[in-house]
A and B are shown apart, each in its own frame.
Chain A
Amino acid sequence: MESETEQYDYHSFTKEGTGATEETGDYRIISYPFGRYEIKVKVTPNNEFVGIIEVGINKDFLTQQQKISLQGLHDVEKFYVEQ
C-alpha cells in the first residue's frame, strides 16, 4: 500500500506538477526552466506576469530510463508536410 502511494505521488508530480488543474482562460502559459524544475507561468496576451500556475520536474533532468518510459509524444508530423 505504501509503495502504491509513492508511485501515485511520483506519477502526479512528473505528469501533472503541482497546481496542474488551474483554469487558464485567455491567458498564455509559458514554461520556464528553473534548475531541476519547470515553472509554468501565466501571462496576459501582452506578456504581463499574472502568476505561477504549476511547478513540475524539468524533464531534461530525467534519467535515460525515465526518458524511455515517457508516455507522451508531440504529435507534430502533420506540421512538417511540405506545402
Chain B
Amino acid sequence: MFYQDGLGQALRFGDVVKGYILTNAILATPIWDTKGSNYAVNVSLPHFSVVVTPCCSIEDRTIMLTPLIQVYATFFDNPYLAEDLTRVNRIMSPQQAVPPDVWDQLCDEEKQRRLAEGNTYAFADLFVYEEHESLPKYVLHRKRGNDIVTNYYMINFKNLYKVHCDKIISPIDSPLESKHLQLSVETREELRVKLARYYSRVPREDQLLQV
C-alpha cells in the first residue's frame, strides 16, 4: 500500500500538500557587489507539493517542500518500470534499470561493469508517487507518437525549497486542510532511505582518499 487510507491529524514527511507557493531564485552570476547584479525570483503555485521536512522537524513556521512533477515519458520504455513506476524508488538489478533493447546493445565489458554493481539504486534524485484517483491525469507526449496518459507523479530531490508559513507550529498544529495524501509507513520509510542515500553518496575521488 503506497498511500495510507485516510489522513492523519498531523503533517508528515512525504505528505502531498496543496496551497504552498514555490519560489525559484535565478542568478546570472554570483553577486560580488551591488553593481550590475542580474537576478530574478519566480513565484508560482504548484498544484501539489510534497513535504520533505522530517516529521520531528516540522516547526518554527518553516517547512521544506518540493513540487510534485510529471514523470519521464521514457520510464515507460522499460517494461520493468512501466509495470510499476514506483520501482524507481527501490534498488534493482543492472538489467532491470535499463530497457531490454539498451541492455542488449551494451558491449560485454560494459555489461560486466554494470553487473559488478549488483542490485542498487538508479535515478538517485527521483522518487515516484503512485497513481491515485485524486491526482489529475495528464498526457505525456512522445516524439514518436503513442502519447501516454497517466497520473503517476514524482519528486526530484534537486527541487527542494523552503517556505515560511505562520500556521506551521508543529506537525499537529499546522494547516491540516492543506494535506491531500499521506504515505503509508512503509512508503515513508522508502522515501526517507532514498533521500538519505541521495545525500550520503560519496564522490569517487573521496572514496579513493578514504582507502
Contacts and interface: CB of A to CB of B under 8 A. Distances in A.
B189 interface: yes
Give the residue among A56, A69, A72 with the most B Cβ atoms within 10 A: A72
B91 A79 contact: no
A15 B117 CA distance: 8
Size range of the interface on B?
A: 35 or more
A41 to B, nearest CB: 12
B200 interface: yes
A18 B112 CA distance: 16
Interface string B62-75: 00000000001111
A82 B115 contact: no
Contacts of B121: 67, 70, 73-74
A68 B200 CA distance: 7
Interface string A48-81: 0000000010111010100111111110110111
A26 interface: yes
A31 B144 CA distance: 33
Nearest to B143: A82
Nearest to B199: A68
Contacts of A69: 200
Given A60-B119, A67-B197, A29 B112 contact: yes
B124 interface: yes
Interface in B190-209: 192-193, 196-197, 200-202, 207
A80 to B, nearest CB: 4
B35 interface: no
A80 B72 contact: yes
Interface of B: 72-75, 77, 91-95, 97-99, 102, 108, 111-112, 114-124, 142-144, 189, 192-193, 196-197, 200-202, 207
Interface of A: 15, 17, 20, 24, 26, 29, 31, 38, 40, 56, 58-60, 62, 64, 67-74, 76-77, 79-83
